[in-house]
Amino acid sequence: MSSLYETQAKFYASITEESGSAEDLILDGGLLSPTGRLEIYSDAYKIRLLDVLADTFSAIHTLLGDDDFERVGLAYIESYPSSSYTLADFGHEFPSFAESNSQQQTGLMREMSEFEWDLHLLFTAQNPQPVKVEQLTNLDSAVWPELRFSLIGACHFVRFHWDVPNLWSAIRQEQYRPVEKLAEPQMWLLWRDGLETRFRSIPDAEYRALSLLDQGCSFAGMCEVVCAEEDGLEAENIAGLLQRWIDDGLFAQISRPERETEHLSVPL
């Protein structure tokens, strides 16, 4: 007699069409043959995974339409079968797969699917309690230049060549409209605030300021760098931005290390 593990493995391989058949595990009799009964489980398995993809990549589903999304989705399930007890990572290869298997604007499809996967990752990421403004109000002004601000884990920067976030919002509101490629790429900030995923476009100077802080640059060092740049921030604007960053819940921690971090750079 087969062990429980062997029975489960044989049944799984059969319904995922990896190998062999499990017909000998199914009792004969009734209106359906063992093959017919196995086909019910096999179809249900694929439908469930297709539902997961449609939920994670809802805008891609809208852009492709039901038939094309089912075609691409089933091909993805065959190429990248689920290999984990959780479905949280199931769509990690879907952005590149959808781009290469779609007959529509490939650049838009790639950026939209990556955007939706980023939102999924942000929602499932672990996040500490963010820094609150009350933690800063009682600080002595002398310590401010040395302060370091660490970004939360559920925070991403993405540069889009298509107006993907606004198109995604329009699709969610059932106001889908065709879009053209942007004249200039636009940086966007994506993050999770509590249980809500949020995003907004940001100027390059704000992106550089946040990136410097996230690399360990002191508050004074960040101000010095971004205020000296040709397209940088004005000193009087930084306080307002800091207030917004805190209100948005972007910082996981503030600290005062003993010495200055050196050799910082901002990725483009």
SS3 85: coil
pLDDT score at 264: 43
Q: Decide which of 61, 82, 110 is a domain's last residue.
A: 110
Structural domain contains residue 38: yes
Q: 13 with 45, same domain? A: yes
**Pair 149, 81 in one domain:** no
pLDDT value of position 258: 61
pLDDT for the residue numbered 50:
96
Residue-number span of the structural domain to which 73 is assigned: 1-110
Specify if 94 maps to a domain: yes
Q: Locate tokens 């490629």: which residue? A: 181
Residues 159 and 249 in one domain: yes
Final residue in a domain of this structure, among 85, 110, 135: 110
248 and 152 together in one domain: yes
- Same domain, yes or no, for 62 and 164? no
Share the mean pLDDT of the chain.
Answer: 85
Predicted pLDDT of residue 266: 44
Same domain, 141 and 213: yes
Question: Are 144 and 53 in a shared domain?
Answer: no
How would you class 160 by CB atoms within 10 Å of its CB: exposed for 0-12, middle for 13-18, buried for 19 or more? buried
What amino acid is encoded at 194 in this protein?
G
Could you report the per-residue pLDDT of 19-72, keeping only the tens digit for each? 556 667 777 766 777 777 777 777 888 999 999 999 999 999 999 999 999 999
pLDDT tens digits for 219-266?
999 999 988 887 777 777 888 899 999 999 999 988 876 654 444 444
Alpha carbon distance 167, 236 (integer Å): 34
User: Within this chain, do residues 145 and 248 fall inside the same structural domain, yes or no?
Assistant: yes
Mean pLDDT computed over 73-81: 92
The answer to whether residue 117 is domain-embedded is no
The DSSP 8-state label assigned to residue 28 in this structure reads: P
Residues 243 and 160 reside in one and the same domain: yes
Instruction: Transcribe 142-205 into DSSP letters.
Output: GGGGG-EEEEPSSEEEEEEEE-HHHHHHHHHTT------EEEEEEEEEEEEETTEEEEEE--HH
Per-residue pLDDT at 200 exceeds 80:
yes
Domain count, the chain: 2
pLDDT score of 151 more than 90: yes
Asked whether residue 17 carries a pLDDT value surpassing 50, the answer given is yes
Q: Are residues 106 and 129 located together in one domain of the fold?
A: no
Mark whether 137 and 240 lie in a shared domain.
Answer: yes
Per-residue model confidence (pLDDT) at position 99: 86
- Flag whether 68 is in a domain: yes
Rounded-to-integer distance, Cα 125 and Cα 89, Å: 12
Question: Within a domain: residue 118?
Answer: no
> Where does the pLDDT of residue 113 fall: very low under 50, low under 70, confident under 90, or very high at 90 and above?
very high
Asked if the structure places residue 35 within a domain, the reply is yes
Q: Which of 110, 145, 175 is the last residue of a domain?
A: 110
> Looking at the domain assignment, is residue 116 inside a domain?
no
For the segment 175-195, what is each residue's pLDDT rounded down to a tens digit? 888 888 999 999 999 999 988
In this structure, the answer to whether residues 37 and 131 fall within a common structural domain is: no
Specify if 115 maps to a domain: no
Across 94-115, average pLDDT: 88
Q: Inform me whether the pLDDT recorded for 169 exceeds 50.
A: yes
Quickly state the pLDDT bin for 140 (edges 50, 70, 90): confident
What's the pLDDT band for 115 if we cut at 50, 70, 90?
very high
Confidence at 18, pLDDT banded by 50, 70, 90: low
